[in-house]
Structure 1
Amino acid sequence: MMRKLTLAAAALAGAIAGPLGGSSAAAAERTLRIGVSDALTGGASVYGLPQANAIKMAADEINAAGGVKVGGDSYMLDVIAYDDKGNPTEATNAVRKLIDFDEVKYILGFCCSGAASAVASFIADEDAVMLVGNAAERSITARGIPNLVRTRPPADYTGAAAGAFVGKRGHKRVAVLGALDVGFYALYVDAFEKELNKAGGQIIARESFGLKDRDMTPQLTKIREMNPDALLVVGYVEPAAFIYRQSVELGMDIPRYGFTSGSEEQFLRVATSEQMEGVWDLRPTELTLQSATETGLAYHRNYTERYGMPPSPSSPYAYDNVYALKHAIEAAGTVDDTRAVARALRELAPPPEAVMQYLPVDGKMFDRNGQAYTANGAFQWRGGKWVYVEELPSDAKAYSEFLASLR
């Protein structure tokens, strides 16, 4: 059963600041409800709760600056959040409740691909706009749904860049340990392998784990016996951290690469900084202090002050969606005509408040598929923190055309 996130529920879920379910803005001329469906509890909450926090923070910033301007009216944003636990059925129930009972037309969040895909399967028939954050499954935007946009690039867009990077570093025998039954992780690895093969390398093992698994020593022991020259780890933050810790405990002295997108604080709940030293994370160029613009630094500072801990690197995907929505509504000149707002989103340049560094296609933040792109980056754990080392070049326009060809 879906739960609207109240202050008490947020405390139970481990939310670290204020309620998400409602804005504090007073004396608003009008109110515009926006909805959140995201994983606020469970294993995926390492991504979902920071996204929900970021949405609330952006809404409050917009309200403090006078709201969303449409004609002579100012609309204050009222955030209604439900915990979908990253589950497709829960997400479907949450969005149905937001649309049918809360009369919400704009729905954000969606850290998990299964949940986002379930909602994407019916959202085209609704008088609503869906703005997807961290979910990375390619099919979400490959369908060309006119009232759906996503800020995070698809997993295979990043996997190809990662494979080229690892191949360039001379690795010939790479073992993979990942949540390979999850579609977007499998897509990442497939794209990674194609580029690795081009550089003369190969994947010599594909070992799997469940997202709730915490002891990966059997898989790591098997991998160790195959004598790889590198390890690729794909999965949620917590199991990945256990793998990094256990690989050190097993004496595996090989380079370790990952696709996880977690903050320092999240990894250090499981592994020590010494056990993390040297680990690479090959992901979209998301928020770290080393890769942030002035806007990103301000976001990091404000989020940390508000919630008592640093934001996760991927949380700005949802934050940026709120500002994209604001600018699209103002450009469309309406809060009621969702089709006009959806069209305005497709014409939008990256807003000045955006934290992520987007690569516009034909000058637009979202391409004709509703997909936004960032550069890909190589981050490495050095001395207790993620350090942005270099960009992994990717061709956003070429990928955009490929994505459109899948329809």
Structure 2
Amino acid sequence: MRLTAITAAFALTATAAFAADKTLDIGVSDALTGGGAVYGLPQANAVNLAAKEINASGGIKVGDDTYMLKVIAYDDKANPTEASNAVRKLIDRDGVKYILGFCCSGATGAVASFIENEDAVMLVGNAAERSITTREIPNLTRTRPPADYTGAAAGTFVAEKGHKRVAVLGALDVGFYASYVDAFEKELNKAGGEIVSREAFGLKDRDMSPQLTKIRGQDPDAILVVGYVEPAAFIYRQAVELGIDVPRYGFTSGSEEQFLRVATSEQMEGVWDLRPTELTLLSASENGKAYHANYSAEFGIAPSPSSPYAYDQTYALKDAIEAAGTVEDTQAVAVALRELSVPDEVVMQYLPVDEKMFDVNGQAYTSNGAFQWQSGNWVFIQDLPSDAAAYSAFLSTID
């Protein structure tokens, strides 16, 4: 009887071992420190949150195997060299085949320049430089739309507000901010408006009073601010301190907490942010509200509006791996990503092209939205005009 019990116990142990879950390492390359960390760190957190949820729900099913996700993250500091080194480490040392994150365009572009030659799949989040998805890289997808896709919609919105003389203050040496402004200007010009001043700042600048004083002398009827959260917050604050009393529009993203580290809510009152329709509780779906609550509970801080780009990447990767039926064949997974419908779990509001989340360029599209700061919160006001299919066709014509 004792022998029978031991035999049964051994059989159960063997069965459990045979059915044991496997581990799939996924990598994150993102800005975890430095100026880009306002975007990169929340993205890395979002990947970890999604991986934890996927594991708790039973992992990724591939044939008879079940894979639990393990996240390996490296800090690329939003620097092209650091990003290249981080991804090389993930691929060459850690054996990672699926790499997520990528908040900032310079670092992302550096990795995109060589990823096609690797046995890996690259999933880009917040980085908005248009050229990332014009290179026809089959193993790269991006969840955030390019900056000029949003800039054109923003220009139409500002023109409809009746503004004719707009001053721009931005990180204009950064390609995706410059392309946003160019697309904005084109639509503003169509309505009879013009950009009367283009003033630049560096992403590490904090005193914008010289540029703002010059802008004040141009007598604009609105200001457009494009740049990272912290310098933008200084601009909004200093514009008030200098008595510049015109509407302020921006392309920054960023949570309330991030802006309030620099400016008071009163100094932010009335500021517009014209950006993809990212996470803001008043515009969020049920998925968005659950994500906000779960992220806040997990990390002790509210998520940044753009962080779900990385969260959504993770669920897209899960569905693509299951559809491809393999974790080893990255080419098959890359193909499956391009055929993917929008996953049920995503947070952002995607506009499918040909009923697919990613178009032929590997690019996803969200709706664009006008958000305004009201009494301490970003409030979703309205959708901006967005034609994902038309922009996708345009993107396909660019070399």
TM-score (norm 1): 0.93
Give SS of 1:391's match.
strand
The 8 Å contact of residues 31 and 78 in structure 1, kept in 2 or not, is answered as: yes
Task: Work out which of the residue numbers 66, 71, 83 in structure 2 matches 1:74.
Answer: 66
- Distance in 1, matches of 2:299 and 2:265, equals 23
- Distance in 2, matches of 1:29 and 1:77, equals 10
Q: Quote the residue 2:237 is aligned against.
A: 245
Report the residue type matching 1:178 in the other structure.
G
2:279 matches 1:287: yes
Which has the higher Rg, Structure 1 or Structure 2? 2
Task: Work out which of the residue numbers 52, 58, 63 in structure 1 matches 2:50.
Answer: 58
Report the residue type matching 1:383 in the other structure.
S
Give SS of 1:240's match.
helix
Give SS of 2:275's match.
strand
- Distance in 2, matches of 1:329 and 1:315, equals 22
The 8 Å contact of residues 273 and 383 in structure 1, kept in 2 or not, is answered as: yes
Q: Quote the residue 1:355 is aligned against.
A: 347
Give SS of 1:314's match.
coil
Q: Quote the residue 2:107 is aligned against.
A: 115
The 8 Å contact of residues 28 and 75 in structure 1, kept in 2 or not, is answered as: no
- Distance in 2, matches of 1:269 and 1:350, equals 35
Q: Quote the residue 1:145 is aligned against.
A: 137
- Distance in 1, matches of 2:121 and 2:284, equals 29
Q: How has the CA–CA distance of structure 1 residues 28 and 323 changed in structure 2, closer, same or farther, with 3 Å as cutoff?
A: farther
> Within 5 Å, which residues of 2 pair with 1:127-146?
127-146=119-138
Q: Quote the residue 1:260 is aligned against.
A: 252
- Distance in 2, matches of 1:29 and 1:173, equals 61
- Distance in 2, matches of 1:28 and 1:306, equals 27
C-alpha distance after superposition, 1:121-169 (max 9, x if no partner): 0000000000000000000001121000000000000000000000011
The 8 Å contact of residues 328 and 348 in structure 1, kept in 2 or not, is answered as: yes
- Distance in 1, matches of 2:173 and 2:321, equals 38
- Cα deviation for residue 266 of structure 1 reads 0.2
Report the residue type matching 1:144 in the other structure.
E
Report the residue type matching 2:299 in the other structure.
Y
2:97 matches 1:105: yes
The 8 Å contact of residues 133 and 318 in structure 1, kept in 2 or not, is answered as: yes
Report the residue type matching 1:273 in the other structure.
S
2:186 matches 1:194: yes
Task: Work out which of the residue numbers 34, 37, 47 in structure 1 matches 2:39.
Answer: 47
- Distance in 1, matches of 2:384 and 2:293, equals 27
- Cα deviation for residue 28 of structure 1 reads 5.4
2:41 matches 1:35: no
- Distance in 2, matches of 1:239 and 1:393, equals 28
Q: Quote the residue 1:224 is aligned against.
A: 216
2:375 matches 1:383: yes
Give SS of 2:148's match.
helix
Q: Quote the residue 2:289 is aligned against.
A: 297
2:146 matches 1:154: yes
Task: Work out which of the residue numbers 357, 360, 368 in structure 2 matches 1:365.
Answer: 357
- Distance in 2, matches of 1:72 and 1:323, equals 20
Q: State the identity as a percent.
A: 79
Q: Quote the residue 2:169 is aligned against.
A: 177
2:201 matches 1:209: yes
Give SS of 2:220's match.
coil
Task: Work out which of the residue numbers 380, 386, 389 in structure 2 matches 1:397.
Answer: 389
Q: How has the CA–CA distance of structure 1 residues 28 and 138 changed in structure 2, closer, same or farther, with 3 Å as cutoff?
A: farther
- Distance in 2, matches of 1:104 and 1:235, equals 32
- Distance in 2, matches of 1:290 and 1:346, equals 31
- Distance in 2, matches of 1:392 and 1:28, equals 49
Q: Quote the residue 1:273 is aligned against.
A: 265
Report the residue type matching 1:193 in the other structure.
E
- Distance in 2, matches of 1:128 and 1:297, equals 32
Q: Which has the higher helix share?
A: 2
- Distance in 1, matches of 2:298 and 2:29, equals 21
Report the residue type matching 1:108 in the other structure.
L
Q: Quote the residue 1:12 is aligned against.
A: none
- Distance in 2, matches of 1:262 and 1:203, equals 25
Task: Work out which of the residue numbers 318, 321, 324 in structure 2 matches 1:329.
Answer: 321
- Distance in 1, matches of 2:277 and 2:78, equals 23
Give SS of 1:405's match.
coil
Unaligned runs of 5+ in 2: 1-18
C-alpha distance after superposition, 1:104-137 (max 9, x if no partner): 0000000000011000000000000000000000
Q: Quote the residue 2:11 is aligned against.
A: none
- Distance in 2, matches of 1:146 and 1:291, equals 33
Q: Tell me the number of residue pairs that the alignment of Structure 1 and Structure 2 aligns.
A: 381
- Distance in 1, matches of 2:192 and 2:316, equals 42
The 8 Å contact of residues 241 and 270 in structure 1, kept in 2 or not, is answered as: yes
Give SS of 2:282's match.
coil
2:274 matches 1:312: no
TM-score (norm 2): 0.95
Give SS of 1:373's match.
coil
Report the residue type matching 2:381 in the other structure.
V
Report the residue type matching 1:153 in the other structure.
P
Report the residue type matching 2:327 in the other structure.
V
The 8 Å contact of residues 287 and 356 in structure 1, kept in 2 or not, is answered as: yes
Unaligned runs of 5+ in 1: 1-26
Report the residue type matching 1:246 in the other structure.
Q
C-alpha distance after superposition, 1:305-350 (max 9, x if no partner): 1111100000000000000000000000000000000000000011
